[in-house]
């Protein structure tokens, strides 16, 4: 297993563009977070009910797309070039291959996510007060939960994408599938006029449930509680990995 | 070029997965549009609860409810009055439960001539408004501005009929008159209902206190009272609440003659085109097309793969050897993908727009009727939107040469800005994003009409896009052209 992880690490480390993609994930997260805070102004003394943690972490909405690309390429690239035959010949226990890939994907996306999240909070902080928004305190447990939860969120998105890409076996289709799964739930929920259905859609969608972890205000009004929401996403990721693993071991390479 | 398009078409047609994928894209648009998931309350509580809006003389659904102090007048006439003042109440603000004092911007008080007292019948009116000065309006959708004015400074108004022509005039002192407008009401009978009216419309405002991401608004009905004096005809007035019950003298509609041509009129409601969104009811045709996002993802994936699969298999070398004009190869690929996507999108949208509204109405949702031209624009617009997005995807596929990044780039620029605008960002930032991002093209699917003379929240959450439809398409087309141009340039310079 250690050898398998080592092999996967070498492949990931040497695949072209991977470092750039991880850098892009950090940059995209920080840039969008900064822009969202800069574009939001409030003239009321009450802070307009803005959740400063959630607003400062808006960039995760874009960062997750780049993280998903990284994860898809870890497996999709092998299917594309036929490399997976060599991989499976070297490590015949196919479950090990997927587990090793999951380990290295987590190992590279989690630090990138942590950088992106920390960068977002740092970039957003100076603009909050001048724009009339409530300030952000790092000591606050809720803020820490939102920040650490966002890192976990991005890592779970990477695992979800890895599982789907293993099952779909085509990079482009897998990317479309993952991003569709993430972005379609909130759009559908917005167009549903029935409030009960709307909340149900927000509760089961991997992105809408998972991002509940970023909320630090009005927790009672959320469709799903923060950690519960992240749990829903974890179930999605686990399901995708199990499906990917099952297809990987059943099918002809 | 024809041979190139033919060969690219053959490449598309012979890959079974792509053809199936395109068909699935169409079915996904149909599925979401026809899925009977939206429920409304219209008709749910017996025949009285049917949502039937009156239809104006020009075919639009309209709001026609106001206080009318009227009498039948035959033949030509001229009626003069002075609006001494307008006062009123607005709905409570967030967290309050008392009505506030104030006059809504589109509260109207003035003189009106109407073809009977049935809702939706033809009319013309000259009026003083709460915040938009003197106006001359007729048949619900037409609005001409007069001079600015305030509810506290008295204003003279005059309505004159000359056969089918109605002229509205205004004056500050009752001696020097200015014409606001002259309109023709075709088919107005010789005896029409003429008199004073007061209307005070629904009020809506974005709730600043609500947290972003869970957009909310507040509002409700408003009531206004106008003091009229110097009325040039003193006798024979009777009151009627148009669109209301016949029992008179409740808080939403009453009048009182106080002698020597003075009348105090209280009214609520509006005489205007009906709108969707927070200040209106129901939804537009756009809601049947929510599946476009899902269909778009399928199309974008296939269009990107249409290019990147050639790189993966090395077929690109054969293609470029067969036709050395590399720019033309890219153009042929984009043309084939755009054409297929256009057909899929147009056919699916045509079915959804015709059948989907029946499904929604069957579920008790009020769907604003759209004109035939609007339906046509929405149907063809859905096809065009998907076609240009497919071309953008082909361009990004050639530019990035990797399916994964190309697909992600298109989804992130076309779908994500829309999502951020409707569900995450505050309205102002969302508005800006939907002007510059490729997602601007979703304006092609807007079915609700924005009327400057109706106060409403014209924001993306309510189905109103910041750009007009064709400008939105131009934004997407601009992005696609820029990406295709850059891709063609690099395709010529780069080694295959």
Measured on CA atoms in the order B85, B90, B93, B95, is the torsion positive or negative?
positive
**Which chain A residue is nearest to residue B282, measuring alpha carbons?**
A193
Q: Tell me how far apart the alpha carbons of residues B408 and A58 are, in angstroms, rounded to a whole number.
A: 18
Residues in CB range of B363: below 8 A, 6 or more apart: B36, B38, B39, B40
Nearest-by-CA chain A residue for B409: A65
- With a CB cutoff of 8 Å and minimum separation 6, the contacts of B142 are B183
Q: Collect all residues of chain B within an 8 Å Cβ-Cβ radius of residue A46.
A: 209
* pLDDT value, residue B359: 80
The verdict on a CB contact (< 8 Å) between B404 and A190 is no
Residue B46 region by backbone torsions, left for phi larger than 0, else alpha for psi between -120 and 50, else beta: left
Beta bridge partners of B256: B264
- Report the gap between the CA of B58 and the closest CA in chain A (Å): 29
% of chain A exceeding 70 in pLDDT: 96
Across the interface, whether the CB atoms of B301 and A175 are under 8 A apart is answered: yes
B424 vs A contacts (CB less than 8 Å): 36, 58, 61
A-B contacts (CB, under 8 Å): 132
Residue A28: pLDDT over 90:
yes
Please classify residue B165 by burial: count the beta carbons closer than 10 Å to its beta carbon, then call 0-12 exposed, 13-18 middle and 19+ buried.
middle
Mean pLDDT in order along chain B per 10 residues (496 residues): 87 89 91 70 58 80 88 91 90 75 89 89 92 91 86 88 92 90 90 92 64 55 89 85 67 80 88 73 77 90 89 80 83 94 95 84 77 90 95 92 86 87 78 88 85 78 84 94 93 80
Which chain A residue's Cα is nearest to B309?
Answer: A80
Shortest CA distance from A177: residue in chain B: B297
Position A6 scores a pLDDT of: 85
What is the rounded radius of gyration, in angstroms, for the C-alpha atoms of chain A?
19
Residue, of B99 and A184, whose pLDDT is higher: A184
Around Cβ A227, how many Cβ atoms within 10 Å?
Answer: 13
What is residue B212's predicted lDDT score, i.e. its pLDDT?
A: 42
Shortest distance between the Cα of B111 and any Cα of chain A, in A, equals 39
- pLDDT, position B280: 61
**Token pair belonging to B26:** 């169409």
Mutation site for A-interface testing, chosen from B407, B414, B433, B464 by largest number of A Cβ within 10 Å: B407
**B85 vs chain A: nearest CA distance in angstroms?**
32
Determine, for residues B290 and A80 on separate chains, whether the beta-carbon distance falls below 8 Å. no
Of B287, B294, B404, the CB nearest to A69: B404
Report the alpha-carbon distance of residue B415 to residue B396 in Å, rounded: 16
Closest-CA distance of chain A to residue B5, Å: 24
List CB contacts of B274: < 8 A, sequence separation 6 or more.
B53, B60, B61, B62, B63, B280, B281, B368
Angstrom distance (rounded) from CA B490 to CA B220: 58
Handedness of CA A107, A183, B425, B300 (dihedral sign): positive
For residue A172, the chain B residues in CB contact (below 8 A) are 301, 304-305, 308, 403-404, 406-407
Contacts of A151 (CB under 8 A, 6+ apart): A110, A113, A114, A117
Nearest CA in chain B to A41: B426
Scan residues 215-274 of B and list those with Cβ closer than 8 Å to A.
Answer: none
Helices then strands, counting H and E runs in chain A, come out as: 11, 0
Q: pLDDT grade, residue A165 (50/70/90)?
A: very high
3-state helix, strand, coil in chain B (%, to 5): 40, 25, 35
Q: Do B293 and A217 touch (CB under 8 A)?
A: no
Instruction: Report the pLDDT value the prediction gives residue A181, as an integer from 0 to 100.
Output: 92
CB contact (8 A) between residue A173 and residue B212: no
Residues A186, B419: C-beta atoms closer than 8 Å: yes
DSSP string for residues in B315-365: HHHHHHHH---HHHHHHHHHHHHHHHHHHHHHHHHHHHHHHHHHHHHHTT-
B210 interaction partners in chain A (CB closer than 8 Å): 49
Cα–Cα distance for residue pair B457/B100, rounded to 1 Å: 20
Asked whether the beta carbons of residue A176 and residue B212 sit closer than 8 angstroms, the reply is no
Asked if B304 has any chain A CB less than 8 Å from its own CB, the reply is yes
Which residues in chain A touch residue B308, judged by CB atoms under 8 angstroms apart? 172
Identify all chain B residues contacting A170, using CB atoms and an 8 Å cutoff.
Answer: 305, 403
pLDDT of residue B124: 93
| Residue carrying structure tokens 């009752």 | B174
Q: Which residues of B touch A221 (CB under 8 A)?
A: 214
Nearest CA in chain A to B402: A172
**Closest Cα of chain B to A21: distance in Å?**
10
Sorted by sequence, the CB contacts under 8 Å of residue B193 that are 6+ apart come out as: B68, B70, B71, B72, B73, B113, B114, B115, B116, B117
Asked if B201 and B107 count as a contact pair (C-beta separation under 8 A), the reply is yes
Give A-chain residues touching B304 at CB under 8 angstroms.
172
- Distance from B318 to chain A by nearest Cα, in Å? 19
> Is the Cβ pair B365, A193 closer than 8 Å?
yes
Contact assessment for residue B185 and residue B138, using Cβ atoms and an 8 Å cutoff = yes
pLDDT at position A212 is 92
Q: B362 — contact with chain A (CB < 8 Å)?
A: no
- The tally of CA atoms less than 13 A away on the side-chain side of residue B415 is 33
CA of A234, closest CA in chain B: separation in Å?
22
- Cβ pair A221:B39 closer than 8 A: no
Contacts of A52 in chain B (CB under 8 A): none
B34 touches A: beta carbon within 8 Å: no
The pLDDT tens digits of the residues spanning A59-113 come to 999 999 999 999 998 888 777 777 778 888 777 777 888 899 999 999 999 999 9
Work out the percent of chain A whose per-residue pLDDT is above 90.
47
Q: With beta carbons under 8 A apart, name residues in chain A contacting B209.
A: 44, 46, 48-49
Instruction: Determine the residue of chain B that is closest to A178 in CA distance.
Output: B408
pLDDT digits (tens, 9 = 90+) for A213-248: 998 887 887 888 999 999 999 999 999 999 999 998
- Count CA within 13 A, CB hemisphere, residue B146: 29
Q: In chain B, whose CA is at the least distance from the CA of A37?
A: B425
Indicate which of A176, A188, A215 best probes the interface with B, i.e. most B CBs within 10 Å of its own CB: A176
């Amino acid at each position: 297993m250690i050898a398998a992880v080592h092999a996967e690490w070498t492949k990931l480390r040497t695949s072209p563009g991977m470092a750039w993609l991880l850098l892009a994930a950090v940059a995209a997260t920080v840039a969008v977070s900064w822009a969202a805070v800069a574009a939001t102004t409030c003239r009321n003394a009450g802070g307009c009910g803005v959740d400063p943690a959630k607003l400062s972490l808006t960039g995760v909405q874009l960062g997750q797309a780049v993280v998903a690309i990284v994860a898809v390429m870890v497996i999709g690239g092998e299917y594309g070039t036929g490399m997976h035959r060599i991989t499976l010949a070297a490590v015949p226990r196919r479950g090990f291959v997927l587990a090793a890939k999951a380990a290295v994907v987590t190992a590279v996306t989690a630090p990138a996510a942590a950088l992106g999240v920390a960068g977002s909070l740092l970039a957003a902080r100076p603009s909050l007060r001048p724009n009339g928004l409530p300030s952000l305190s790092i000591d606050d447990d809720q803020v820490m939960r939102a920040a650490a939860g966002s890192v976990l969120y991005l890592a779970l998105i990477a695992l979800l994408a890895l599982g789907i890409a293993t099952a779909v076996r085509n990079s482009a289709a897998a990317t479309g599938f993952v991003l569709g799964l993430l972005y379609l739930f909130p759009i559908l929920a917005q167009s549903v006029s029935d409030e009960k259905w709307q909340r149900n859609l927000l509760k089961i969608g991997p992105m809408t449930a998972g991002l509940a972890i970023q909320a630090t205000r009005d927790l009672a009004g959320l469709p799903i509680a923060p950690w519960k929401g992240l749990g829903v996403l974890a179930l999605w990721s686990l399901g995708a990995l199990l499906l990917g693993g099952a297809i990987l071991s059943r099918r002809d390479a | 070029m024809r041979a190139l398009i033919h060969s690219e078409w053959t490449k598309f047609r012979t890959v079974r997965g792509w053809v199936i994928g395109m068909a699935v894209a169409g079915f996904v648009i149909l599925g979401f549009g026809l899925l009977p998931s939206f429920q409304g309350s219209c008709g749910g509580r017996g025949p009285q609860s049917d949502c039937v809006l009156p239809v104006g003389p020009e075919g639009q659904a309209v709001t026609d409810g106001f206080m009318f102090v009227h009498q039948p007048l035959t033949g030509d006439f001229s009626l003069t009055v002075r609006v001494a003042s307008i006062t009123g109440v607005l709905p409570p603000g967030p967290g309050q439960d008392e009505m506030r004092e104030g006059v809504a911007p589109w509260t109207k008080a003035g003189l009106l001539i109407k073809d009977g007292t049935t809702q939706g019948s033809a009319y013309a009116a000259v009026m003083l408004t709460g915040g938009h000065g003197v106006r001359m309006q007729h048949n619900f959708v037409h609005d001409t501005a007069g001079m600015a004015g305030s509810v506290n400074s008295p204003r003279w108004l005059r309505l004159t009929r000359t056969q089918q022509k109605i002229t509205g005039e205004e004056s500050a002192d009752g001696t020097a008159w200015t014409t606001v407008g002259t309109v023709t009401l075709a088919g107005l009978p010789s005896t029409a209902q003429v008199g004073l009216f007061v209307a005070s419309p629904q009020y809506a405002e974005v709730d600043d206190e609500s947290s972003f991401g869970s957009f909310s608004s507040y509002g409700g009905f408003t009531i206004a009272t106008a003091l009229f004096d110097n009325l040039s005809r003193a006798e024979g007035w009777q009151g009627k609440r148009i669109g209301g019950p016949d029992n008179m003298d409740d808080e939403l509609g009453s009048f009182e003659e106080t002698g020597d041509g003075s009348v105090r009129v209280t009214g609520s409601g509006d005489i205007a085109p009906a709108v969707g969104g927070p200040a209106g009811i129901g939804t537009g045709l756009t809601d049947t097309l929510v599946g476009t996002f899902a269909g778009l993802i399928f199309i974008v994936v296939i269009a990107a793969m249409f290019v990147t699969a050639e790189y993966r298999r090395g077929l690109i070398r054969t293609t470029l050897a067969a036709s050395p004009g590399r720019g033309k190869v890219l153009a042929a690929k984009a043309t084939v993908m755009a054409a297929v996507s256009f057909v899929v999108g147009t056919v699916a949208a045509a079915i959804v727009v015709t059948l989907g509204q029946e499904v929604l109405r069957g579920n008790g949702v009020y769907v604003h009727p759209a004109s035939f031209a609007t339906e046509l624009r929405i149907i063809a617009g859905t096809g065009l939107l998907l076609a240009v997005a497919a071309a953008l995807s082909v361009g990004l596929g050639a530019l990035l040469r990797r399916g994964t990044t190309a697909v992600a780039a298109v989804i992130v620029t076309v779908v994500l800005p829309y999502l951020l605008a409707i569900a995450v960002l505050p309205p102002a930032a969302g508005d800006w994003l939907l002007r510059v991002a490729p997602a601007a093209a979703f304006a092609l699917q807007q079915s609700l009409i924005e009327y400057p003379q109706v106060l409403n929240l014209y924001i993306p959450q309510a189905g109103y896009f910041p750009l007009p439809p064709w400008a939105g398409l131009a934004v997407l087309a601009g992005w696609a052209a820029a990406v295709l141009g850059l891709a063609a340039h690099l395709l010529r310079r780069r080694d295959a």
